[in-house]
Amino acid sequence: MHVEVRGLTKKFGEFPAVNDVHFSIAKGQLIGLLGPSGGGKTSILRMLAGLETPDSGDIVFHGTRVNDLPPQEREIGFVFQNYALFKHMTVQGNIAFGLEVKKWPKNRIKERVAELIELTGLSGFEKRYPHQLSGGQRQRVAFARALAPEPQLLLLDEPFAAIDAKIRQELRAWLREMIDRLGITSIFVTHDQDEAIEVADEIMIINKGNLEQKGSPWDIYKNPETPFVAGFIGESTIVEDVSTLRGFEQAADWPGTKALIRPEYVEIGQANEFRLLSATETGRVRHLHFRGSEWLVEVDVGASRLVTYRSLEKEVLHPGEEIQVLVHRAYLFNDNDSWIMENRLKEDPMPVHI
Amino acid sequence: MRRLWIGLTCVVFALLLGAPVVRIAIGAWSEGWEGFRHGLTRPEALHALGMTALIVVVVTVVNTAFGVLFSLYLVRAAWLRERMKRLLNSIVDLPFAVSPVIGGLMIVLLLGPETALGAMLERGGIQIAYALPGMILATLFVTFPLVIREVMPVLQEIGSQQEEAASTLGAYGWTTFWRVTWPSIRWSVVYGVVLTVARALGEFGAVLVVSGNIMFKTQTATTLVYQDVENFNLASANAVALVLAAGSVGLLLLMEWAKSRREG
């Protein structure tokens, strides 16, 4: 189902939960609503479902405005954060509920339930009650129950939040595959960027009720449009005065501009490890943290402290050691603007500065 | 030392709870089976027990239905403001805080024959105070919080998500209530109903004030016991009291069972 949202606004008392949000979603896409807790993601989802009434704005499904339709008539499936399974009904009963309510004939209900139990790998658990299932199984029952009445749009509120890390990985992959196979338009809410990046076709970053950016995970990582997005996606350190870093002297032309530098923008090593030595400058190793598969290195460069990763295969560094630092790029922002600046010396084939 | 405390507890328990029941039982049989039978089958006793039964049935039905509805609104209704809900929630407890006698008095003061409203109703042929409607109202007032206080916490605990899930699956209010909400609250409702029945059976103060205790007209089992005692008709008083006590013990057993089902 094609979903379009225009000027969606919702206040809880004086608190603006959702603030003039616009977006549209093509049929069959899997969208992740990503942002910090309390940022309005769940409110958007609940308004799409009809569980919450917007103060203003339009919600359009398939070209029809559905603001005035109750949840019962929006042809949606909703998976709740804590699943909200009917605890006095068996797995079968839960999945059949929506079909019984819609007065499907008995034999078709039976077929459909069997089909979904097969699809979600719950065979053998049909007669169990929710409290007899594991977290992952409950999640799949919630998913099967939401899908049973053949909804046009699937909404998932923090679908993996209550599941332990290992099973979460499996379920993510499973959900992605399932949604691909069914081709149903889906929107899920999460505060976990790894989850959004891994599962979603497109991510919408929501912060303080505003839609900060919408795009593919790669796009958002590469071209963050706002400082919030730049800081939220990936890891980063803020450098107050970037013009002191070699290759970024130009930044002094924009007073009051700060820089955000990701670990992967920074390369460190001994002088012999660099091809373009002129673009590097000297720094001092401050701390080393072992991160299981690599070193996290904190380096002091002038007054700034940068963070980067270093392969375990390379020569081991020691705190206090002098090393060369190459900053490939920085994300610059001030109150009105933000842009990406590449290290100028790196691009210049005949550097004048020595 | 420990033995002393255990012994003391047993003595207090026996004196406060055991002795009266035994005394009532002995008293009821003081004139033998005939005395007991007579105490219960007197026309005034039959009428009083009938009145009590009628009041219990009406009050239980009304308070169960409205208690559940009131709880649903207080917990779920989005159209009620939070502050309003808190206010209503504390008003629910009013009958607990106010003496039942005062509850009965309020009804007489509001709807008695001397009041404007009462006089108007009486001209229309409806008598409230000193008649059955007033007694039912008084008992309703006294038992009003019982179902609500049992159901509300459970509704709060189960939350609204299951109901929301039902609505996204296409179920409207009535279906959602019977298929999703009711199975979760039914044992609490049963528990509340048992409490209501027990309270309505034993209510004395409020009913006494409202009814005027007119024999063959507005006399209930408890007010009959009161009158029998006043008239030194102890065997009969004990017979009726024993029936009431037996009813209460039966209800207590039922209550324990309902409680175990609710927790199970």
Q: B217: domain CATH number?
A: 1.10.3720.10
Name the residue facing B161 among A71, A84, A145 (closest C-beta). A84
Among B169, B179, B262, the strongest candidate for a mutation testing the A interface, having the largest count of A CBs within 10 A, is B169
pLDDT digits (tens, 9 = 90+) for B48-77: 999 999 999 999 999 999 999 999 999 988
A84 in contact with chain B, both atoms CB, cutoff 8 A:
yes
A129 in contact with chain B, both atoms CB, cutoff 8 A:
no
Cα–Cα distance for residue pair B141/A179, rounded to 1 Å = 56
Among A97, A141, A156, the strongest candidate for a mutation testing the B interface, having the largest count of B CBs within 10 A, is A97
Distance from CA of B151 to the nearest CA of A (A): 17
Q: Are strands A304-311 and A266-269 parallel, antiparallel or unpaired?
A: unpaired
pLDDT for position B24: 87
No. of helices (H) and no. of strands (E), chain B: 15, 0
Interface of A with B in 17-56 (CB under 8 A): 49-51
- Domain boundaries, position B181: 31-263
Cα–Cα distance for residue pair A173/A164, rounded to 1 Å = 15
Both structure tokens of B208: 């006494």
- Say yes or no for a CB contact (<8 Å) between B170 and A85: no
Integer Rg of chain A from CA: 25
- List the CATH number of the domain containing A327: 2.40.50.140
- CA torsion angle B127 B139 B261 A93 (round to 10): 40
Both structure tokens of A11: 């206040």
A98 in contact with chain B, both atoms CB, cutoff 8 A:
yes
Distance from CA of A129 to the nearest CA of B (A): 14
Both structure tokens of B31: 């004139």
**Amino acid (1-letter code) at residue A177:** E
Cα–Cα distance for residue pair A261/A238, rounded to 1 Å = 6
A218 in contact with chain B, both atoms CB, cutoff 8 A:
no
Q: Domain boundary residue among A198, A232, A266?
A: A232
Residues A246, A167 share a domain: no
Q: Least CA distance to B78: which residue of chain A?
A: A52
- Say yes or no for a CB contact (<8 Å) between A145 and B165: yes
- Say yes or no for a CB contact (<8 Å) between A86 and B165: yes
Contact (CB, 8 A) for A84 and B161: yes
Q: Let me know if residue A84 belongs to a domain.
A: yes
Number of domains in chain A: 2
- Domain boundaries, position A47: 3-232
pLDDT for position A166: 81
Q: Let me know if residue B18 belongs to a domain.
A: no
Cα–Cα distance for residue pair B25/B13, rounded to 1 Å = 18
Cα–Cα distance for residue pair A345/A248, rounded to 1 Å = 9
Cα–Cα distance for residue pair A203/A199, rounded to 1 Å = 9
Both structure tokens of A33: 């609503």
Residue matched to tokens 């039942």: B100
**Amino acid (1-letter code) at residue A174:** W
Q: Least CA distance to B169: which residue of chain A?
A: A98
Q: Least CA distance to B176: which residue of chain A?
A: A101
- Say yes or no for a CB contact (<8 Å) between B180 and A101: no
Residues A258, A216 share a domain: no
ipTM over 0.85: no
Contact (CB, 8 A) for B183 and B55: no
Name the residue facing B170 among A82, A87, A98 (closest C-beta). A98
Residues A220, A261 share a domain: no
- Say yes or no for a CB contact (<8 Å) between A77 and B168: yes
Residues A25, A174 share a domain: yes
Residues A138, A15 share a domain: yes
Name the residue facing B170 among A49, A88, A149 (closest C-beta). A149
Cα–Cα distance for residue pair A196/A32, rounded to 1 Å = 5
Q: Which residues of A touch B170 (CB under 8 A)?
A: 72-73, 98, 101-102, 149
C-alpha angle A187/A188/A192, rounded to 5°?
Answer: 145
A80 in contact with chain B, both atoms CB, cutoff 8 A:
yes
Residues of chain A with pLDDT under 50: 354
- Using CB atoms within 10 A of its CB, is residue A141 exposed (0-12), middle (13-18) or buried (19+)? buried
Residues A166, A61 share a domain: yes
**Amino acid (1-letter code) at residue A89:** M
Cα–Cα distance for residue pair A327/A346, rounded to 1 Å = 9
Residues A74, A175 share a domain: yes
Q: Let me know if residue A353 belongs to a domain.
A: no
Residues of chain B with pLDDT under 50: none
Residues A158, A39 share a domain: yes
- CA torsion angle A110 A116 A122 A127 (round to 10): -30
Q: Let me know if residue B68 belongs to a domain.
A: yes
A72 in contact with chain B, both atoms CB, cutoff 8 A:
yes
Both structure tokens of A242: 């970037």
- Say yes or no for a CB contact (<8 Å) between A97 and B179: yes
Strand partners, A190: A34
Q: How far is C-alpha B151 from the geometric centre of its chain's CA atoms?
A: 16
Q: Domain boundary residue among A232, A247, A277?
A: A232
Instruction: Tell me the HSE value of B66 on the side-chain side, using a 13 A CA sphere.
Output: 13
Among A74, A78, A154, the strongest candidate for a mutation testing the B interface, having the largest count of B CBs within 10 A, is A78
Interface of A with B in 136-165 (CB under 8 A): 145-146, 148-149
Q: At B155, is the secondary structure helix, strand, or coil?
A: helix
CB contacts < 8 Å between A and B, how many? 61
List all residues 6 or more positions away from A181 whose beta carbon is below 8 Å from its beta carbon: none
Cα–Cα distance for residue pair B207/B87, rounded to 1 Å = 28
List all residues 6 or more positions away from A348 whose beta carbon is below 8 Å from its beta carbon: none
Lay out the sheet containing A76-79: strands in order across. A76-79, A153-157, A185-190, A30-34, A202-207, A210-215
Contact (CB, 8 A) for B146 and B258: no
Q: Domain boundary residue among A232, A263, A286?
A: A232
Q: Let me know if residue A352 belongs to a domain.
A: no
- Say yes or no for a CB contact (<8 Å) between A80 and B170: no
Distance from CA of A299 to the nearest CA of B (A): 49
Distance from CA of B184 to the nearest CA of A (A): 8
**Amino acid (1-letter code) at residue B186:** R
Number of domains in chain B: 1
CA nearest to A333, candidates A208, A247, A213, A239: A239
- List the CATH number of the domain containing A66: 3.40.50.300
Q: Least CA distance to A146: which residue of chain B?
A: B169
CA nearest to A343, candidates A251, A299, A282, A279: A279
Mind spelling out the 3-state secondary structure of chain A? CCEEEEEEEEEECCEEEEEEEEEEECCCCEEEEECCCCCCHHHHHHHHHCCCCCCEEEEEECCEECCCCCHHHCCEEEECCCCCCCCCCCHHHHHHHHHHHCCCCHHHHHHHHHHHHHHCCCCCCCCCCHHHCCHHHHHHHHHHHHHCCCCCEEEEECCCCCCCHHHHHHHHHHHHHHHHHHCCEEEEEECCHHHHHHHCCEEEEEECCEEEEEECHHHHHHCCCCHHHHHHCCCCEEECCHHHCCCCHHHHHCCCCEEEECHHHEEEECHHHCCCHHHCEEEEEEEEEECCCEEEEEEEECCEEEEEEEECCCCCCCCCCEEEEEECEEEEECCCCEEEEECHHHHCCCCCCC
**Amino acid (1-letter code) at residue A151:** P
Distance from CA of B255 to the nearest CA of A (A): 22
Distance from CA of B165 to the nearest CA of A (A): 7
Cβ-based neighbour number of residue A244 at 10 Å: 16
- CA torsion angle A244 A247 A252 A254 (round to 10): -130
Contact (CB, 8 A) for A141 and A120: yes
Distance from CA of B152 to the nearest CA of A (A): 19
A131 in contact with chain B, both atoms CB, cutoff 8 A:
no
